[in-house]
Structure 1
């Protein structure tokens, strides 16, 4: 089967039910290569998912899905309580072949109160996305392994430290994809507060 990979840019809106009939599960793969400059350093990128209610806020701390860690009750912070969103873990340097970090979404398990999911890419150590080679996100049908959409981070966001990459949102009963492409110069803690949670 030929792969029909669509490049996406900020502002695009796609009805997944119409363009990807039968889609139940997808995964967002972020990949990058090591430091663009020959400084001997390596860059750590992270991708986060945020599950939101209709008011644009999280209902609980575990609606903010990160690469690793456990809460005080021993819950894995990389897995949403519903099982609908799962983070694969953190790759520190971009030295792996293929996808470096993956977040999977199972639409059949999304709770009714969650109407939107935001996906954020963030750098660490004060580096910009322009300092990273070949950074991109690919959305894949998790059942067929067919790539659907691709974001090139390096090309469009060379001065940013964090990017609201895209969102998945319900409209008229259909899950839709929105390519946001909003760049920020702030850390993960600022996003946590913005989504109605407390840091610490």
Structure 2
């Protein structure tokens, strides 16, 4: 049975789901009908951060040009350039046992590619969601529908998966940034 979360809610992942070894983090969205002239290309990313809230280096940033963390703990399944169709638009796979000990949190984010040049923002996006699926059983464990009305934001932190007393938890974050991928990179300690 899927648990539906609201913004700000936190829930245990591994303690109450001991069989959860590998999770599929599915992200999806729709674009509103508008005549902006350009296609939307949204990109999922993961920032693996330490206790200081920052990445250790560029390799802790998983995105369409760096699809797999060196530990194998986080794998991006590939860039979907249109977001067409039902279901997940992009996915990340997290294998909890492979996450390095110095990583305390994985921030799952979505940005709009070339948002400024295309005059696009998350105010033009609807039905955004993130869900966690047990890869072994294909059971959806939880879902967070981002129901907020965003306007000028070009990057969002959808959720965070974080370590707590040796277990992993999920936080429904839903916070927006202006400045796209560059702003997110700076937030997590990378040079844009």
Which stretch of structure 1 is more off in the superposition, 39-48 or 161-170? 39-48
CA distances 1:50-84 after superposition (whole Å, capped 9, x unpaired) = 001111111111101112x2xxxxxxx11000000
SS in 2 for 1:150: strand
The equivalent of 1:42 in structure 2 is 39
* TM-score of the aligned structures, taking structure 2 as reference length: 0.88
CA distances 1:85-139 after superposition (whole Å, capped 9, x unpaired) = 0001111111144222101100011111111111111223242323124332221
Runs of 4+, deviation exceeding 4 Å: none
Which stretch of structure 1 is more off in the superposition, 20-29 or 133-142? 133-142
The equivalent of 1:158 in structure 2 is 150
Mapped contact 1:43–1:132 kept (Cα < 8 A): no
The equivalent of 1:129 in structure 2 is 122
* TM-score of the aligned structures, taking structure 1 as reference length: 0.85
Q: Does residue 1:54 correspond to 2:38, yes or no? A: no
Match of 2:99 among 93, 98, 110: 110
Structure 2 counterparts to residues 137-152 of structure 1, below 5 A: 137-152=130-145
Ranges in structure 2 where 5+ consecutive residues have no aligned partner: none
| Residues 181, 133 of structure 1: alpha-carbon distance in 2 compared, 3 angstrom cutoff | closer
Ranges in structure 1 where 5+ consecutive residues have no aligned partner: 70-76
> Shift in Å at residue 42 of structure 1?
2.8
